[in-house]
Amino acid sequence: MERLKFYADTPRGEKNKYFCFSINSIMDIEARLLYWMQKGFYVRAAYYEFVDDETSETTNQQIDLIEFCESKAVLFTKKYL
């Protein structure tokens, strides 16, 4: 089982709210983070969690948000007519 977990400030004013989503693949992490960031969420910290079904061992890996945002900067620019 794989999950994306993150803490974010929401557009409604909630601070440091916890979110957790099951994901299908590592590529799904990128799509989900981009979705919430484009909705106006300020993501403070994000983690990829993998649970081994056989041993029930949990592995958490923190996502480098600065590197992630820099690599996706084109998606956050606004074009004015």
**Which H, E and C letters describe the chain, residue by residue?**
CEEEEEEEECCCCCCCEEEEEEECCHHHHHHHHHHHHHCCCEEEEEEEEEECCCCCCEEEEECCHHHHHHHCHHHHCCCCC
Q: For 23-27, 35-39, 77-81, which range has the lowest pLDDT when averaged over its residues?
A: 77-81
pTM of the entire structure? 0.77
**Is residue 80 predicted with pLDDT exceeding 60?**
no
Q: What's the mean pLDDT in 46-72?
A: 86
